[in-house]
Structure formats: structure tokens, C-alpha cells
């Protein structure tokens, strides 16, 4: 820490010496810049003191936020002259909101209300052009870009207030729709005050997927690539399933923060079939407990067909994800849980449970599929009689009623959109993201996801766990529920199935998803550079790396610089002032660092910062004669060598340049 503090002080002294307006000068966009030799500075006013920028950088914000920190919040009523002016103080909104998040629990109710009022004002002025009114449509559009839907239940109060205001102002000539209204500050406060905490998180990109727009663009690209797949056959053993159009293809995403995106046939109802198995398993875990449930059903992959007549060495089904295990789970729900319920009440109980998992979105029942399944259930009845022979069922179980209950669970009907919320509830530890209701206990979610990971994809489960590395469950109707723990849930639906009974397009989508993003359970989040991490803010990794590189140069730590180079970093990267590590090392007089950057990293000594200074000029200004001589020798070319700008891509993994034998530094051979 002491070494880093000294480096900060040295950088501060260097910044003051390099600043063209001189020490202590202050200028603002409203006042002319101070004259220097040769006239006014061509780049306008200087940046704020370096210490403030370093504080912002150490908070690991993006480079765009660092630039935004250079201006302050305008007072209420001040006119914002341009879009740039609005964006320039956006960081102040972020700072205010972060402070509220950190301290809100410690404040009194009156102090909390005052803090939220300040945040409401900040958001208002961020979208206001004249400081007096706001176009509410522009605000709502920005809110939807973050992934929040217009009908999000958590924004219900805001929507209701918006329509109340619209009804009150319906006679005004400039009011054509609720979203076309122009509102003043008191009315805007009235709209957002009930939902300001969620709105502030959305505006500050504090959701799990900060850049949701670009993430959706990537999901859409994968969707269209998979749509062209023509393999597989629609399940035909149930007549109603065989009627599905093989061209149906839908993808729906719901994050743990309730960000939503869908594309394709996401509103077409389909029966859940085997996707009901992890859901009923979670329900029985909550109601009976893990110990009781696993007296009747195991946790091991069977290694056999999902409907095979086989039990484990304890004479019980291998796991709840195969037909035998799911039938036992239904018998436990019917016999041991809520014994006071009759058949109709128990069916309603499970249906309502599915609906709560989906945030009260569409969950229905397809009676035609139920009847068809019951007619074509010889194998499942054989499993039931086989397990009854081996005394697998709890006492007083009625096999016929258990089988009907199992078929009813499989015939539950939903949409791609609703099932993505179910998956997100599992990803969120049992709390529904859209209703914020605790539906399933955390321990039950853990057990459900563990078995989905090892047993959820029929006989393809092992390969899926190896290639995709995420919990998933598929059904013969073509549906697939994919869970990215602590991030999101995804539902994929396409009726054509492969030889294992899984959706062909669904499997392809999952493979391409983990190839693009580091969602695989065992992807290294720190060192994986060839995959995107949508959980990080834009430029976050790049900004941190640049700061670390410049600190290494300022402290003369050649070992750290070697690590940066070996990790594939471009050693010619610049900070927001256009300064490279070579500028900093030269200004500090670190001869070994300068030589390493020139000789081995091919950093060009002719790069200029925002003030037009080169590393040589920095070395001369701070009277580091040996460093200046070294840089000058590389510029002039030692032993006939030449120095030029690095070619595109050099410095980020190119081989170390060698001086002598006709090699060049910063150029090509």
C-alpha cells in the first residue's frame, strides 16, 4: 500500500508539471481557456486533478464513467444544452444511488424519503431537456432497454399512476397517449416514488446483465443460426404432440433481476411433460423434507433408458428425473403431503405451485393430452406394477390415482415465456424474480439443480453436463428448461427431437450459448479471455488492466509488467489521457521498465498523449538523462535499426522484439 501511495503522489506531481495551464489553474466550459505558449490550448479545458480520477478508477468503473466524472450535477432548473451535457453528469446519479444503497438501512424513514427524493430529482434532470419538464416516453424507453417489461409486476404502481395522470390530463391538446405526456417534476415524482429503488438499479445498470441490449443481440444471433437446423422428428406416440408444427422455435430469457427477452414462438402453449419432474420434486422436498423423500427415491444417474424397468441396489428408483422416480414423487405428494386434500384439491395445489414459480404467468392444463397419455401408458403402468411388487410405494397408495396424478402433472400447459420465469426462479434460489415471492426453499433448489445437472437430459445427460455444464431438463413436447445459477433461466421450445428425446434446436442453442459466454459451470471467470462475460460492465476488465499496468510502470515493477505481457495484454494501451506505460515509466525514470517496454513489448516511443507529449519529452522534462538517451537511441535506430508504429495486433501476444541482426523495434522485419 505504501508503494502504491507513493506512486499516486508521483503521478500527481507529474500531472501538475505536464498540465499546459500550469499549477493551480482552474477553467470550466463556461470560461475561456487560459492562454499558453502558442495560444489557447487546442484540447480545451484541462481534466480535473489526477487524484480524483484515480479514485474513480480504483472503484473499477468503466472508462466511460471515468470521463463522466469530469462534470458535476446541474442544479435544479438549469438548462441542459445538449445530449452530451445530460450524459456528462449521469455518474452523479450513480454516485448518489450507490450511497443510498450502502446507507439506506441505517437511515430513519424521514432520511430515507429525503434520499429517495434526491434520487428522483436526479433521474428527472437526466432526461429533462429544459430542466422543467420530461418526456415520459423517453424515460420509459430507457427503462425497457434495461430489460424491464412494460407489464412488469414490480412497476405496477408506476403504470397505474401513469394512467391516472393520463385520465386527469386527457383533455389537454398535447396528450395523445399515456406515453406521449410531458410531465413536470412533482408529477414525475408521483409516478416513480413507489418503485424508485428498482428504477434506480435499472438506470445504474446494477442488474446481473448490465449491458442487456448487446446480450439480447447475441441471443438473437444464436436463435437465427439454430432456426435453420432441420434435423429431428416430432414425438408421435401421443397423437396431440404429433400435431405440432416442426417449424415452431421459441427462446425466452429471464434473469434473476427480472430482465426479460424473448424471440420466436414464445406464446404458443405446450405441455411440460418431463419438465414437470424437477418442479414436483422441489415441491415434495419442501413439504416432506430431503430425508423422507430419499427413503423412497435415490439420487444416482441410472445409466439406462428413462422408462426402463429397473431399480437400484436398494430396490428404489434411481432418481426423480426418470419415469419411475417421478411416479414415486407423485405418490408421496398424494399420500404423505396434505393428506386432508382430495384429488381435485391436490391437482389445484400443484397447478397453483407451478403458477407461483412462473410469477403467475400462464399455466394451464391440456385435457386432451392427459387422456392420450393415459391411453398410451402401458410402459408407465408396467413401471407402477413393478415398483408395487418391490414395495417402493408408501403405504395406502392407490396406484391408479397415482398414475392419473402423474399424467396430470405431465399434461400441465405453459408457454416459453412463462417457463423462463420458472427457470429464473430456480436460478434465483427459489425466489421468483418477477413477483419477488419465496416459492421454493434454497436447500430444495440446490437438490433440484444438482439432479437436473446429472440426470436431466435422459441418456444424453452425461454428454450435456460435459459439453454445456449447466442444469437442464427436457421434455418430449420439445421444451427445455435451462438454468444458469445466480444469473438467469432460459426456456427453449422446438418440437423436433433427437434420438435421445431432446429438442434438436435446444441442444444446439445450449452448445452455442456456452461457446459464446462463460456460463459453463467450470469456465474460469478470471482467465477465460475467448468468451464473453455478460455479467461484467462494459470495459470493466480493460479498465482494471490498464490501471494495473500504469501502476506497475509508475512503481518500476518489471515483474508485474512481464506478467501483463505474458497474459496477452496490449502493452501499448493508453489511459483516458492517451498516456501509455512508457510515458509513466519515462517520467518516473525507471530505466529497466523503459528498456523492457521498448525492447520486448515494441511500445512505440513516438506515441503522444493528449497534450502532445512523447515519452522522450517526459524523460527530458523530469531530467532523467539515461532514460532520455535510451529512448533517443531507439528512435534513431541502434546499429541501423528503425522504429515505427506497431502494426495492428502487435503488442498483444506478438513475439518479443530483439535488437540487432536486422530486427526492428515497433516495426516489421
C-alpha distances out from residue 296 to 277, 284, 350, 516, 542, Å? 15, 12, 20, 41, 52
Tell me which of 180 and 57 has the higher pLDDT. Answer: 180
pLDDT of residue 106: 60
476 belongs to the catalytic site: yes
pLDDT value of position 611: 92
Tell which residue, 122, 87, 260, 85, has the closest CA to residue 199. Answer: 122
Q: What is the mean pLDDT of residues 539-568?
A: 82
pLDDT value at position 57?
A: 33
**Active-site hit among 406, 420, 468, 627:** 406
Mean pLDDT of 90-97: 44
Q: Residue 560: its pLDDT value, please?
A: 85
Average pLDDT for 400-420: 96
Least confident of 294-298, 523-527, 560-564, 603-607: 523-527
* Residue 2 pLDDT greater than 90, yes or no: no
Q: Which of 200, 274, 454, 503 is catalytic?
A: 274
Position 306 pLDDT exceeds 70: yes
Q: Which pLDDT belongs to residue 108?
A: 74
Catalytic member of 208, 272, 277, 445:
277
- Catalytic, 458? Answer yes
Q: CB–CB of 192/123 below 8 Å?
A: yes
DSSP 485: T
Share of residues in the chain with pLDDT > 90 (%): 52
Q: Write out pLDDT tens, residues 557-582.
A: 988 888 888 777 889 999 889 999 99
The verdict on whether 277 is a catalytic residue reads yes
pLDDT at 61: 35
296 is catalytic: no
Q: How confident is the model at residue 38 (pLDDT cuts 50, 70, 90)?
A: very low
157 pLDDT higher than 60: yes
> Are 254 and 420 within 8 A, CB to CB?
yes
Residue bearing the bigger pLDDT, 270 or 540: 270
pLDDT of residue 64: 35
Mean pLDDT score, 83-98: 41
Q: Which of 458, 474, 555, 603 is catalytic?
A: 458
Instruction: Write down the mean pLDDT value for the chain.
Output: 80
Q: What pLDDT does residue 657 have?
A: 34
State percent of the chain over pLDDT 70.
77
Q: How many residues does the chain have?
A: 669
Q: What residue has cell string 437436473?
A: 452
Reply yes or no on whether the pLDDT at 333 is more than 70. yes
Domains along the chain with CATH numbers: 63-206 (1.10.238.210), 217-516 (3.40.710.10)
Overall average pLDDT of the 174-193 stretch: 87
Taking residues 548-558, what's their average pLDDT? 91
Q: What pLDDT shows up at residue 105?
A: 56
Distance CA 114, CA 73 (A): 17
Write the pLDDT tens digit of every residue in 215-258: 999 999 999 999 998 889 999 888 888 899 999 999 999 999 99
Q: Which residue has the higher pLDDT, 350 or 661?
A: 350
Whole-angstrom distance, CA of residue 209 vs CA of residue 276: 28
pLDDT at 526: 66
End-to-end CA distance of the chain: 42
Q: Which residue has the higher pLDDT, 650 or 446?
A: 446
Residue 210 confidence (pLDDT) above 50:
yes
Residue 22 has pLDDT above 60, yes or no: no
Give the model's confidence band at 469: pLDDT under 50 very low, under 70 low, under 90 confident, else very high: very high
Q: Which residues contact 499 (CB under 8 A, 6 or more apart)?
A: none
The rounded distance, in Å, linking the Cα atoms of 5 and 123 is: 36
Overall average pLDDT of the 525-531 stretch: 69
Walk across the sheet containing 363-365 and list its strands.
Answer: 270-271, 412-414, 363-365
Tens-digit pLDDT profile for residues 249-264: 999 999 999 999 999 9
Give me the numbers of helices (H) and strands (E) for the chain, helices first please: 29, 12
Q: What is the mean pLDDT of residues 15-35?
A: 38
Label residue 220 left, alpha or beta by phi (over 0 means left) and psi (-120 to 50 means alpha). Answer: alpha
CB burial string 187-196: b at 16+ within 10 A, e below:
bbbbbbbbbb
User: pTM for the whole thing?
Assistant: 0.71
pLDDT tens, position by position, 133-144: 999 999 999 999
Tell whether the model's pLDDT for residue 612 goes beyond 70.
yes
Query: How does residue 301 score in pLDDT terms, banded at 50, 70 and 90?
Result: confident
**Whole-number pLDDT of residue 529:** 62
**Is the confidence at residue 435, as pLDDT, over 90?**
yes
For the stretch 493-522, pLDDT in tens is 999 999 999 999 999 999 999 999 999 988
Q: Which of 253, 439, 476, 627 is catalytic?
A: 476
Examine the residue annotation and report whether 261 is marked as an active-site residue of this protein. Answer: no
∠ CA 359-365-326 to the nearest 5 degrees? Answer: 85
Phi-psi map region of 189: left, alpha, beta (phi>0 left; psi -120 to 50 alpha): alpha
Amino acid at each position: 500500500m505504501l508503494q502504491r501511495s507513493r506512486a499516486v503522489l508521483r503521478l500527481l506531481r507529474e500531472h501538475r508539471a505536464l498540465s499546459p495551464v500550469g499549477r493551480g489553474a482552474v477553467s470550466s466550459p463556461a470560461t475561456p481557456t487560459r492562454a499558453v505558449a502558442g495560444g489557447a490550448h487546442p484540447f480545451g479545458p484541462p481534466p480535473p486533478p489526477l487524484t480524483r480520477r484515480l479514485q474513480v478508477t480504483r472503484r473499477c468503473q468503466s472508462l466511460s464513467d471515468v470521463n463522466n466524472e469530469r462534470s458535476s450535477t446541474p442544479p435544479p432548473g438549469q438548462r441542459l444544452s445538449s445530449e452530451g451535457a445530460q450524459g456528462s453528469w449521469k455518474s452523479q446519479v450513480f454516485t448518489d444511488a450507490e450511497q443510498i444503497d450502502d446507507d439506506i438501512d441505517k437511515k430513519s424513514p424521514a432520511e430515507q424519503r429525503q434520499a429517495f427524493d434526491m434520487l428522483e430529482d436526479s433521474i428527472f434532470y437526466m432526461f429533462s431537456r429544459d430542466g422543467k419538464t420530461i418526456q415520459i416516453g423517453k424515460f420509459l424507453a430507457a427503462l425497457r432497454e434495461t430489460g424491464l417489461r412494460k407489464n412488469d409486476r414490480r412497476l405496477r404502481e408506476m403504470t397505474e399512476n401513469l394512467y391516472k395522470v393520463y385520465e386527469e390530463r386527457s383533455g389537454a391538446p398535447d396528450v395523445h397517449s399515456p406515453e406521449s405526456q410531458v410531465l413536470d417534476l412533482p408529477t414525475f415524482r408521483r409516478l416513480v416514488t413507489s418503485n424508485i429503488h428498482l428504477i434506480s438499479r435499472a438506470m445504474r445498470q446494477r442488474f446481473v446483465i448490465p449491458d442487456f441490449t448487446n446480450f439480447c443481440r447475441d441471443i438473437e444471433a444464436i436463435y437465427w443460426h439454430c432456426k435453420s437446423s432441420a434435423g429431428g422428428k416430432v414425438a408421435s406416440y401421443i397423437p396431440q404432440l404429433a400435431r405440432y408444427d416442426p417449424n415452431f422455435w421459441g427462446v425466452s430469457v429471464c434473469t434473476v433481476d427480472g430482465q426479460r427477452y424473448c424471440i420466436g414462438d414464445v406464446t404458443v402453449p405446450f405441455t411440460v411433460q418431463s419438465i414437470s419432474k424437477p418442479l414436483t420434486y422441489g415441491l415434495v422436498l419442501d413439504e416432506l423434507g430431503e430425508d423422507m423423500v430419499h427413503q423412497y427415491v435415490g439420487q444416482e444417474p441410472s445409466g439406462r433408458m428413462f422408462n426402463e424397468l429397473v431399480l437400484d441396489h436398494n430396490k428404489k428408483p434411481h432418481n426423480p428425473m426418470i419415469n419411475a422416480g417421478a411416479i414415486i414423487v407423485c405418490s408421496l405428494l398424494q399420500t404423505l403431503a396434505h393428506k386432508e386434500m382430495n384429488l381435485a384439491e391436490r391437482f389445484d395445489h400443484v397447478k397453483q405451485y407451478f403458477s407461483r414459480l412462473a410469477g403467475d404467468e400462464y399455466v394451464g392444463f391440456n385435457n386432451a393430452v392427459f387422456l392420450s397419455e393415459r391411453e398410451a401408458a402401458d410402459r408407465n403402468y408396467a413401471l407402477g406394477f413393478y415398483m408395487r411388487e418391490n414395495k417402493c410405494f408408501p403405504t395406502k397408495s392407490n396406484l391408479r390415482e397415482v398414475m392419473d396424478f402423474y399424467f396430470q402433472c405431465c399434461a400441465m400447459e405453459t408457454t416459453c415465456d412463462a417457463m423462463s420465469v420458472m427457470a429464473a426462479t430456480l436460478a434465483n434460489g427459489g425466489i421468483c424474480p418477477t413477483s419477488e415471492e419465496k416459492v421454493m426453499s434454497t436447500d430444495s433448489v440446490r437438490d433440484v439443480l444438482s439432479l437436473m445437472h446429472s440426470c436431466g437430459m435422459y441418456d444424453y445427460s452425461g454428454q450435456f453436463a460435459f459439453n454445456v455444464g449447466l442444469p437442464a431438463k427436457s421434455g418430449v413436447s420439445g421444451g427445455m428448461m435451462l438454468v444458469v445459477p445466480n444469473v438467469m433461466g432460459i426456456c427453449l421450445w422446438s418440437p423436433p427431437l433427437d434420438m435421445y428425446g431432446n429438442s434438436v434446436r435446444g441442444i444446439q442453442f445450449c452448445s452455442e450459448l456456452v461457446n459464446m459466454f462463460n456460463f459453463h459451470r467450470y469456465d474460469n471467470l478470471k482467465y477465460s479471455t475467448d468468451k464473453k462475460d455478460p455479467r461484467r460492465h462494459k470495459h470493466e476488465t480493460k479498465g482494471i488492466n490498464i490501471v494495473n499496468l500504469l501502476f506497475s510502470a509508475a512503481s518500476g515493477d518489471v515483474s508485474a509488467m512481464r506478467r501483463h505481457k505474458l497474459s496477452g495484454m496490449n502493452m501499448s494501451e493508453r489511459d483516458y489521457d492517451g498516456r501509455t506505460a512508457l510515458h509513466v515509466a519515462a517520467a518516473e525514470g525507471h530505466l529497466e521498465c523503459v528498456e523492457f517496454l521498448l525492447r520486448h513489448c515494441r511500445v512505440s516511443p513516438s506515441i503522444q498523449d493528449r497534450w502532445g507529449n512523447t515519452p522522450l519529452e517526459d524523460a527530458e522534462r523530469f531530467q532523467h538523462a539515461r532514460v532520455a538517451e535510451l529512448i533517443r537511441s531507439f528512435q534513431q535506430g541502434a546499429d541501423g535499426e528503425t522504429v515505427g508504429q506497431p502494426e495492428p495486433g502487435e503488442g498483444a501476444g506478438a513475439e518479443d522484439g530483439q535488437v540487432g541482426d536486422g530486427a526492428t523495434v515497433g516495426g516489421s522485419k
